[in-house]
Amino acid sequence: MKVFVTGASGFIGSAIVKELIASGHQVVGLARSGQSAEVIRKEGAEVLRGDLEDWEVLKQGAKDSDGIIHAGFFHDFTQFAKAAEIDKNAINAIGEALMGTDKAIVVTAGILGLPLIDGNITEESLSPGFPRSSETTALALAEKGINASVIRLAPSVHDKGDKGFVPFIIGQARINNLSGYPGDGLNRWAAVHRLDAARLFRLAFEKGIKGAVYNGVADTGIKMKEIAELIGSELNLPVASLSEEETAKHFEWLSRFIAFDSPATHFKTKELLGWKPEHIGLIDDMKQNYF
């Protein structure tokens, strides 16, 4: 099948492109720059030039494909409201092009901050739609009859080349000569290896159910204190609990997310798609590749 992938040159998107091509699919990747286009072509995919604010380009990509994986996001977390609005508008633009078809669109969302059910975020945990509305926007499309499903990714999607939350946390420890954690550090983050996440996207595209929500997590909940202690050990830095004020100063824009307690499971995702994480966990990956 011909799959249109947004975010195709990114850390996660490039792995999705590889996974799709290896499984026999044809891929067209959205590229906002010549550099992005070169990355996409090297992976063996076609290129469609444009970005997430080019609604007509997004619609054309959707019309010319057999389905869509929306993995693109405006990754400036200092402008998160703007990023969320761009994402919402992009999903709706693609959805408009899919009206009256059975083409699948798999939309990327996040685990972090969702409500716990019996101690964990499950597939039944409902997203409040704020500050990021990817999930609620996609599910609204499904209610209109569009074949939309959602993959909620863990806050750490890890592998060599990661430029996300964990490398930022390590960088802040270097800058501040301290590996800090918020409060008692017992809040938990889920994690998933990039290659496991890519396989989940492919399975959701091939086998997904309209309106379904899938949890892309492998490590169900790693204490923030454990992450801080590993960073302190690897960098030979002191490790300390931070007050709310100290947390805001130490983690800057990440301070709005760092204290979330978001352990998560993937039982229903495994049942529906047959997905099972196979790659190393975050702590081992950090020890091998992050320092």
With bands split at pLDDT 50, 70 and 90, how would you rate the model's confidence at 213? very high
Is pLDDT of 125 > 80?
yes
| Selection from 74, 71, 89 nearest residue 14 by Cα | 71
The pLDDT confidence band at residue 160, using thresholds 50, 70 and 90, is very high
Q: Tens digit of pLDDT for each residue in 7-31?
A: 999 999 999 999 999 999 999 999 9
Non-local (6+) Cβ contacts of 236 within 8 A are none
Torsion of CA 183, 134, 61, 42, to 10 degrees: 10
Entry field: residues in the chain: 291
CATH of span 2-157+191-218+263-279? 3.40.50.720
Given a cut of 80, whether residue 78 has pLDDT beyond it is no
Q: Which residues of 214-241 are buried (b: 16+ CB within 10 A; e: fewer)?
A: bbbbbbbbbbbbbbbebbbeebebebee
The reported pTM is 0.96
Let me know: does 40 contact 29? Beta carbons within 8 Å. Answer: yes
Partners of 5 in beta bridges? 29, 69
The pLDDT value recorded for residue 38 is 96
Report the pLDDT value the prediction gives residue 129, as an integer from 0 to 100: 80
Residue 198: closest CA among 11, 6, 4, 1 = 11
- Reference 184, options 262, 243, 236; nearest CA is 243
pLDDT of residue 210: 97
CA-closest candidate to residue 134, choices 87, 71, 198: 87
| Choice among 120-134, 191-205, 229-243 with the minimum mean pLDDT | 120-134
Per-residue pLDDT band at 47 (split at 50, 70, 90): very high
**Residue 224 Cα distances to 185, 189, 192, angstroms:** 5, 7, 16
E strand residue ranges, 25-177: 26-31, 46-49, 67-70, 104-110, 147-153, 156-158
Phi, psi of 146 (to 5 degrees): -80, 140
Domain boundaries, the chain: 2-157+191-218+263-279
CB 91 within 8 A of CB 70: yes
Which residues neighbour 116 within 8 Å (Cβ) at sequence distance 6 or greater?
125, 261, 263
Tell me the mean pLDDT in the region 181-190: 98
Q: Check whether the bond before 131 is cis (ω within 30° of 0).
A: yes
